[in-house]
Each structure stands twice: as structure tokens, then as C-alpha cells.
Amino acid sequence: MSDLRDDLARIAAALERLAPPPLVADLSAASCFHWDSASGALVAVAEPVRTPLDLLLEIAPQKERLLANTRRFAAGAGANNALLWGARGTGKSALVKAVHAEVCRTAPALKLVEASGAAMDQMAALISALRAQTRPVILFLDDVSFTGDEAALKALKPALDGGLHEAGRLIVYVTSNRRHLTAREARENTPDDLMWADAAEEKLALADRFGLWLGFHAFDQAQYLRVVRAYAERLRLPIADEDLEREALLWSRTRGARSGRTAHHFILDLAGQLGKDAALP
């Protein structure tokens, strides 16, 4: 009999390890958090790295709309979940973080919780925990795309439309390189999914749950150079404009891209060559 009790105790202990206690979202430690999906913990980010909002150039309409939406949300007014889609390096993620910082100036209760788009099938507990608290929270999912992962789809839907619960103080901002979060051609979807058309329709329906769609497009040369000059002026780099332009264009050609990210990487390298601190004030 004692052996049976010992066996049952070991089984119970094993089950407890497999099913950890529900996540409690204590958001008092900071304004920004990173969700560690491996441990299920919210990790406070004491000093988040963010680009100043006024240095996010060539995306003025997107900036204005996301800022207004976030201010309404922080004030308890109506606001939409947002999908920021488009070319790589054009400021999607940077804009979400910069807008949060700007709104926090007047609404310090607003929290930002960043989670990897690759871990969405594990975030049911996170969504439940964020809904259980009273502070306004932006759940930020960076670089999201679906390639046949139905579990991830089902996990995200409750955060977008609430299911049987009110949306409460939770809003979702997602960045993606794809406008509809999914490949549009059959050959790009899961090869063994015989009903690929139905699966694609399901994923497009997910994108439709975002009330605010903001598109970001690759920069032309003039836009790229304006961003470079803005960074150089902010850091007071001692370089002639013609030299700055020549070096910036060479940098972009070697990388085959013109974007805000390319400009930032170039300025980091240039500041290093000139012996200057590249930290943006």
C-alpha cells in the first residue's frame, strides 16, 4: 500500500512539473516587458532600446495613425488592433516601441509586452494573464507569419476578438513582412495540406481581425539619404554632406537595400570610424 502511495506521489509531482501554475502578470516593475516563452515568465526591460519618434522619418502617415490609436487606447477610448506590414527595415517594430514611449509620457500606466511571433502557439496563458489585470497593455508580436501552423492561429484569435470575454485593457500590435500574414500561393503553404485553399482563407480571416492596417514600403534614394542626414545631424558627426552622401550610397549598394535600418547601420559604422558615440539622445 505504501508503495502505491509513493508511486501516486511521484506521478502527482510529475504532473505538476508538466502543468506549471498559471502566469501572473505583475506589471508594476517596468513599462516594458519581454515574454520568455521557454520559462513562461514576463521579464522586465529596465532600459529598452528605442529610436526617438522624431527620427522615424518617411513614415509620417503611419506614425500619426498609430500614435492616435495608441493614445485613444491608453485613455480608455475605442481603439483597434493594428497590423504593420511591409518591407524589411522600414521602421515597423521601431515605430511600435517609439509610440509606446511617447504615449507613456502622459499615460505612464500603459505597458508594452513583447513576444516572439514564433511562440504564439504557447501564449494562451499569457493572453489570459494580461486580461486579468487592469492596466492598459499592448501585446506586441514582432515578425509574424503563418506557414500552416493552425495552433498559432487559434492561440492568437482570442486576443484579437476576445472570444466570450471583453477585450478589456488588451490590444494587439503585430508586425509582418506579409500583408495578410500568410503566403498567397499554394506552393508556399504546407505541402501536405490538401485543403490549402481553406487554410489560406482561415489565415486571411485572421488578418481581417485587425482594424488598423499600416503599410510600409521600401525607400527610394532620396528618402534613404534624408534619414541618413537626420541621424548624422542628431549625432553631430563631423563630415561634409557630399562625403556623407557618397559613403551612405556605397553602404546601401553593398547591402542591396535602402531602408531606415540600413541608414542606422551605416551611421553606427560611420560614428565608430569618427570616434563618436552612436547613442541617440
Residue 167 lies in a domain: yes
Q: Which of 207, 203, 142, 202 is nearest to 174 (CA)?
A: 142
| Pairing mode of beta strands 32-36, 41-44 | antiparallel
Same domain? For 194 and 239 the reply is no
Last residue of a domain, one of 171, 200, 216: 216
Same domain? For 37 and 165 the reply is yes
Q: Is residue 5 over pLDDT 90?
A: no
| Pairing mode of beta strands 170-176, 82-86 | parallel
pLDDT above 90 covers a percentage of the chain that reads 43
Q: What is the dihedral of CA 53, 59, 64, 70, to 10 degrees?
A: -60
Mean pLDDT of the chain: 80
Last residue of a domain, one of 216, 235, 252: 216
pLDDT of residue 265: 94
The residue segments making up the domain with residue 263 are 221-273
Residue 230 lies in a domain: yes
Tell me the CA distances in angstroms from 82 to 184, 225, 258, one per residue in order: 20, 29, 25
Q: Which of 87, 62, 37, 105 is nearest to 213 (CA)?
A: 62
- Alpha-helical (H) ranges within the chain are 2-18, 60-74, 92-104, 124-131, 150-161, 196-207, 221-235, 241-255, 260-273
Same domain? For 185 and 49 the reply is yes
pLDDT of residue 41: 81
Torsions phi, psi of 274, nearest 5?
Answer: -90, 0
Same domain? For 187 and 244 the reply is no
pLDDT digits (tens, 9 = 90+) for 133-166: 888 999 998 877 655 445 556 667 766 765 434 5
Q: What is the dihedral of CA 246, 251, 256, 262, to 10 degrees?
A: -110
Q: What percentage of the chain's residues is helix, strand, coil (to nearest 5)?
A: 45, 15, 40
Last residue of a domain, one of 197, 216, 235: 216
Q: Is residue 4 over pLDDT 90?
A: no
pLDDT of residue 227: 95
Angle CA(217)–CA(118)–CA(67) in degrees, nearest 5? 45
pLDDT digits (tens, 9 = 90+) for 256-267: 889 899 999 999
The mean pLDDT value for 183-203 works out to: 50
pLDDT digits (tens, 9 = 90+) for 73-117: 999 998 999 999 988 888 999 999 999 999 999 999 999 999 876
Least confident range from 124-128, 187-191, 254-258: namely 187-191
Same domain? For 155 and 229 the reply is no
pLDDT of residue 132: 81
Same domain? For 201 and 78 the reply is yes
Tell me the CA distances in angstroms from 274 to 224, 237, 270, one per residue in order: 21, 8, 6
Q: Is residue 174 over pLDDT 60?
A: yes
AA letter at 190: T
| Pairing mode of beta strands 32-36, 111-116 | parallel
Least confident range from 11-15, 55-59, 168-172, 209-213: namely 11-15
pLDDT above 70 covers a percentage of the chain that reads 70
Q: Is residue 228 over pLDDT 80?
A: yes
Pick 225 or 180 by higher pLDDT: 225
Write the CATH number for 201: 3.40.50.300
Same domain? For 233 and 196 the reply is no
| Pairing mode of beta strands 137-142, 170-176 | parallel
Angle CA(274)–CA(277)–CA(280) in degrees, nearest 5? 125
The rounded distance, in Å, linking the Cα atoms of 144 and 118 is: 7
pLDDT of residue 22: 52
Band the pLDDT of 196: cuts 50, 70, 90.
very low
